[in-house]
Structure 1
Amino acid sequence: MLDHLITHDDALRMVPTDRDELAAAVGRLRDELRALPEDADPARTRILTRWIGIGQMSLGHHDEALTSLRRSLDIAATTGNTRAVVATGLNLADAHRYVGDAQSADALYRSALNTARDQHPELVDYALQHTGKHLMERGDLTGAQAHLQEALRLRIAKEDTELVKSTQAALDRVELLTNQADASAVAPSDPGGWSRQWTTWLRSRTTTLTPSRWAQDFPALRDAVAAITAHRRVHPRHLRHLRHQSDQSFPAELLAEMAEEAEKAVATDGYLHNGKRNAAVGDAANHFAEQVDLAAVVARSTGMEVEQPHTAVYIGYTEGQFLDFHLDEPGFGEASLILCLRHERPTGALRVSATVFINADGYLACALAPGDCVVFDGALTPHGRTPLGPRESVTLVSFGFRACDRAAHTLTGLPTAPR
């Protein structure tokens, strides 16, 4: 009814696309509501009061929004329309959230989500989406991500592109807030998003999409990249057929278990991020990290002593996907280890995707085979992945490590991104 006049701001709150037009549209709905006869269908009154409330909320008229939405919710409850109870309850929860009444909002979100799960499964994704944004604003980023990832799975199953896009935008904001929190805790010198500024600049100058451009792109990047990489704590190392202290390759059964877990996680719980799918690691990855001394692998290959991995994520790529050049947020650690779990492609494929880095002296491409890994400093080495070819797929796990030397945690004297 008013959808075309409402959009979302950077904080994902509803705002007018045109304030005057929305105010006029709300006025017309109020005129219609006042003109309804006393014996009018309650459903029409419920619909009008709901949309008046949504419009007023978007305009910032919170008291009027609360009044209208409470009236609409009461009508829905009185008439036994539980579907409307869920939908309007979420709107009323939003109105309480917008005015700063987190306690009332929380109760309404939980009630709507429980009712949707019990009686209206088609509305569960909506309830999860609204509840996730509420948790995000309260600072419960872990809870927000869990709700939004569940919503994303449901919306992908619905095959509704706009709904998927909306949930992905919310997940992207959760990730942004998480990275900002990590950067604030780990690298006080990066409060303004230093990594993101450099990523924006890099992507304006080059891309992993067209490797043929690299030679012509690089001269313009050389000095800037050299200024960044001069501070890095780990140089990229491609480790093939890795052997650990017992002089044996990574245990094949552990790699197989992790690969199976990763592919299931990416397929069922994965969320879109930078053109690929990420997913939380599980028992198999944790067991692998317990059985294999990954800190020793990093130390031997880089010379930097690190603690055992403090974080990890599964990554999945399929045909056509790629990851453009970027810098990681400092919170992931002073060293990263990307381990290839599976790499499927047709026999004789002319193009094979690779993990790529920009160094001060040019580009480094690492075509990882299963069991291979690459160790690098993701916060200070521009990196990405070239596009996957037809019928190609790659499954990876990325571990993050903190240096034992606490001085290495703080990044100071870093060059600002060119303009």
Structure 2
Amino acid sequence: MKLSDFQSKLSVLNDLLYFDENDYLREKTTDVAKLKKIIVDAKHLLSENKEHTYYLCGIIGNLYRICEEPQKAFDYLHECLDISLVEGDIKKEIVSLIRLGEALKYDSQPQKALTLFNRAYTKCCENQVELYADFALQHKGKCLMELGELEEAERCFTQSLKLRQQKANPSLIKSTKLALELVRNLNQT
């Protein structure tokens, strides 16, 4: 299988993934078997093609997390982080920290997750990488929301929303508004 063929298959993810409003907007799937098939395809491609290791490990790690197997995600996401550090690529490092933080959150390690979200945000600020600051804040907010730290979560979402409005990306704005609505509803109960 070629990488381009694999990437074409990834378009199905939009139909298989959703944010569960009954579980703090955790990313979930409607079809674990299809995600596992994509994981198998990605692993096969990875064994044949080392030049796209970062990309494929990121996909595999994220999909294992969504399949609620965060322990399996760790090796792949650590590999992404290692690659980013060797390459000295700050953008890849930030993305890797956020992805690894999410896997830690799904593995019931929220404090470690928060540490990584904070590191990612700090790296965004220190290196003027605005592209991912909203993601670091959004994921930090969701983690705080799960911990019941609702006021701080709301501050993260509000800050993330401002950044996303500057990007003018409707789907990102929508997801942050949904998070704000949820945290405000939780705050009222």
Q: If the TM-score is normalised by the length of the shorter chain, which range does it land in?
A: 0.7 to 0.9
| Structure 1 equivalent of residue 19 of structure 2 | 8
Once residues 71 and 106 of structure 2 are traced to their aligned partners in structure 1, the CA distance between those partners, rounded to angstroms, is 11
CA distance in 2, matches of 1:6, 1:52: 15
CA distance in structure 1 between the aligned counterparts of 2:89 and 2:184, rounded to whole angstroms = 36
Give the counterpart of 2:123 among 115, 119, 132. 115
2:183 to 174, 183, 186: 174
Instruction: Give the Å deviation of 1:17.
Output: 3.2
Deviation >4 Å, runs of 4+: none
Q: Which residue of 2 aligns with 1:45?
A: 53
In the TM superposition, residue 8 of structure 1 has moved relative to its aligned partner by 1.3
Q: In structure 1, what is the Cα distance between the partners aligned to 2:47 and 2:36?
A: 17
- Partner AA of 1:72 in structure 2: C
In the alignment, the residues of structure 2 paired with residue 22 and residue 96 of structure 1 have an alpha-carbon distance, to the nearest angstrom, of: 20
Secondary structure in 1 aligned to 2:61? helix
Matched residue of 1:139: which SS? coil
The answer on 1:139 being equivalent to 2:152 is no
For residues 349-374 of structure 1, what are the alpha-carbon distances to aligned partners after superposition, in whole Å with 9 as ceiling and x for unaligned?
xxxxxxxxxxxxxxxxxxxxxxxxxx
| One-letter identity of the residue aligned with 2:86 | T
Matched, 1:17 2:30: yes
- Secondary structure at the counterpart of residue 76 of structure 1: helix
| SS of structure 1 residue aligned to 2:28 | strand
Amino acid at match of 1:114: T
Give distance in 2, aligned partners of 1:53 and 1:84: 14
Letter in 1 for 2:35: L
**CA separation in 2, counterparts of 1:33 and 1:157?**
36
Gaps of 5+ in 1: 181-419
SS at match of 2:18: strand
Residue-by-residue CA offset, 1:317-361 (whole Å, 9 max, x unaligned): xxxxxxxxxxxxxxxxxxxxxxxxxxxxxxxxxxxxxxxxxxxxx
Q: CA separation in 2, counterparts of 1:26 and 1:8?
A: 20
Alpha-carbon offset, residue 6 of structure 1: 2.3
Structure 2 alignment gaps of length 5 or more: 1-6
Q: 2:40 aligns with which of 27, 49, 60?
A: 27
- Cα distance between partner residues in 2 of 1:6 and 1:77: 30
Correspondence for 2:66: 58
1:164 to 2:173 alignment: yes
Q: How does 1:196-211 map to 2 (within 5 A)?
A: none
Task: Count matched residues.
Answer: 175
Matched residues in 1 for 2:108 and 2:90: separation? 26
Q: Give 1:19 deviation, angstroms.
A: 1.9
Cross-structure match for 1:151: 160
Q: Which amino acid aligns with 1:128?
A: L
| Counterpart secondary structure, 1:26 | helix
CA-atom RMSD, angstroms? 1.3
Considering fraction of residues, name the structure with more helix: 2
TM-score relative to the length of structure 2:
0.88
| Bigger RCO (CA 8 Å, 6+ sep) | 1
Alignment partner, residue 113 of structure 2:
105
Partner of 2:35: helix, strand, or coil? helix
Give the Cα separation in 1 of the matches to 2:152 and 2:77: 26
| Match runs of 1:157-306 below 5 Å | 157-180=166-189
Offset from partner CA, 1:371-409 (integer Å, 9 cap, x none): xxxxxxxxxxxxxxxxxxxxxxxxxxxxxxxxxxxxxxx
CA distance in structure 1 between the partners assigned to 2:131 and 2:79 by the alignment: 24
Letter in 1 for 2:101: A
Partner letter of residue 7 of structure 1? Y
Q: Hey, what's the Cα distance between the residues in 2 that align with 1:70 and 1:86?
A: 12
Query: Structure 2 CA distance, aligned partners of 1:179 and 1:18?
Result: 34
Q: Which range moved further: 62-71 or 50-59?
A: 62-71
Show CA shifts across 1:293-327 (max 9, x none): xxxxxxxxxxxxxxxxxxxxxxxxxxxxxxxxxxx
Correspondence 1:88 to 2:99: no
Equivalents in 1 of 2:42, 2:63: separation in Å?
Answer: 10
Cα displacement (A) at 1:29: 0.3
- Secondary structure of 2:25 counterpart: coil
Fraction of identical pairs, as percent? 29
